[in-house]
Structure 1
Amino acid sequence: MDRSRILDGKASIVTLLSDFGDRDVYVGVMKGVIAEINPKLTAIDLTHQIPPQSIAAARFCLMNAYPYFPVGTVHIAVVDPGVGSKRRAIAVEFAQGFLVGPDNGIFSGILSQNPAIAAVELTNRNYWRTPQASTTFHGRDIFAPVGANLASGVPIQELGQEIDPATLVQLNLGECQETTTGVVGCIQYIDRFGNLISNIPGSYVEGKTWCVQVRGLTIPGHATYSDVEVGEAIALVGSHGWVEIAINSGNANSQLQIELQDSLEVQIISNNA
């Protein structure tokens, strides 16, 4: 590896997402590896509070973060319950930038909206931190150094063996299904406020009077949290663009006992056009 070429390369953005939390040094170590390769890079933390081993939560957070970064950004994601196993370590190029992490479905949300341009398995150990990577910390030894090199201008094809993007692992949460009265979907993410975020696009309810049916409850659709009294349940379209269920000044997850992948139905009452 020609280090002088890397250090003279473009200054770019690397984002980091993991389930490491902030108690231990894991995140700081990854940033140290990135800075050692190219201190000109800007490293931005998306979050390190993904619930441990929750690939679904990581998928959602990445999918909702990537549109807000410049073209060419490298997104490094490490939620990796299969670390050290035969699961592939990959880098993916898509229209907005690059993805680096395990091939376990973590990138399937982004790739459902932005088809992959190219994908490689990270087999070129010249771009690892060490040829003998730890079996428990690929974030430090593979993903951080590869992401830093990619953000510094190394072509994706140099990082390893090309693979067919169609073979990348998909995390299947189920597709929305239209019914005679609306559309059925599921809860794909629960945020720290306990808001229950579905996989039903907000565009489906635009200009309509609607409600959500879930667990025998009928929850009215409104525009803002304050459209109902404190403590009452509400359905609305969140800033992420998905239909969600919330409690005004409360926690829908704990109060309604609704969990990830539970089903719900958006019912259309009338068109307002």
Structure 2
Amino acid sequence: MAIITLTTDFGEKDHFVGAVKGAIYTELEDVKIVDISHSIAPFHLHEASYIIQSAYKSFPKGTIHIIGVDSELNPENKHIAVLLDDHYFICADNGIISMLIAEIRPEKIVEINIHDRIISNFPVLDVFVKVAGHIARGGTLDVIGKVTTEIKEMTGIRPVVNRNGSQIIGNIIYIDNYGNAISNISKKLFEQVGRGRDFIIAARSIKITKINANYSDAINFDLPADRREEGGKKLALWNSSNYLELAIYKSNPSTVGGASSLIGLGFRDSFTVNFVSDAL
């Protein structure tokens, strides 16, 4: 049974998500549909890129991922289907899979060319669903598109390493539901550049010298509860997607606040990781 995931900026108020699911079931009666997220900020490509990159590996090989963000067809925003890491991705060629191709080379990319057979101003509903159905039935990408080797990449998706390897300049690419600020610095890059050296993470006025494996690692549980520093505790950790995250212990944006508000970090804001041998 085919699995098709949906990642969109459609929200929950309108009919769009339900209509897409209905079209999938019309195309394929025996299929499982999984919602990854429909709460991407409108047209927010970095959010979509991070979320699909973080989620897709949990699915079986052969899963088909429809990404409906900024998907209107125009001369600068073509449609593509990508086979990467034994998963299929159907989306616009707007840089949305930049985080995936930064680490894994696609096995095949095609520019979808079935639009002359489909009249639509809702491509996710019509074009993307048709492509997903074709793939789910065992069809090849060559039938629905022209092979290409280049796709767009987003700016700001890659951190910058200075010439002597003493500093990484990262950017915030996503603020999660808890107000945690996720950066574009991967654990793999950090370890390659850092080579085991001590470091200082400098973000606004805070400095952090340790990266935790878990949020609670920042708390000294050997101390009595009334003597622990918990409220507003600032920390850094490798999140479940292995990206450097700046967080507040037990944050809540609507009450105590989160890293985004308490540290003052928003989308695209930069911060630095300075390796101590060169930073002092």
Q: Same fold (TM over 0.5)?
A: yes
Paired with 1:54 and 1:180, the residues of 2 have a C-alpha distance of 31
Q: Which amino acid aligns with 1:83?
A: E
Q: Aligned to 2:5, what secondary structure does the other structure show?
A: strand
Residue matched to 1:177? 161
Residue matched to 1:199? 184
Q: Classify 1:214/1:43 alpha carbon distance in 2 versus 1 (closer, same or farther; 3 Å).
A: same
Q: Classify 1:73/1:36 alpha carbon distance in 2 versus 1 (closer, same or farther; 3 Å).
A: same
Residue matched to 1:139? 124
Q: Which amino acid aligns with 2:87?
A: G
Residue matched to 2:204? 215
Matching of residue 105 in structure 1 with residue 95 in structure 2: yes
Q: How does 1:220-239 map to 2 (within 5 A)?
A: 220-223=209-212, 224-226=214-216, 227-228=218-219, 229-239=230-240
Q: How does 1:113-124 map to 2 (within 5 A)?
A: 113-124=103-114
Paired with 1:180 and 1:139, the residues of 2 have a C-alpha distance of 43
Residue matched to 2:255? none
Paired with 1:195 and 1:85, the residues of 2 have a C-alpha distance of 35
Identity of aligned residues (%): 29
8 Å CA contact 1:176, 1:200 repeated in 2: no
Say what the alpha-carbon RMSD is for the aligned residues: 2.1
Q: CA deviation at 1:209?
A: 4.8
Structure 2: gaps (5+ residues): 220-229, 252-257
Number of residues of Structure 1 aligned to a counterpart in Structure 2? 252
1:150 to 111, 129, 135: 135
Matching of residue 53 in structure 1 with residue 38 in structure 2: no
Structure 1: gaps (5+ residues): 1-10
Q: Aligned to 1:34, what secondary structure does the other structure show?
A: helix
Q: Which amino acid aligns with 1:170?
A: E
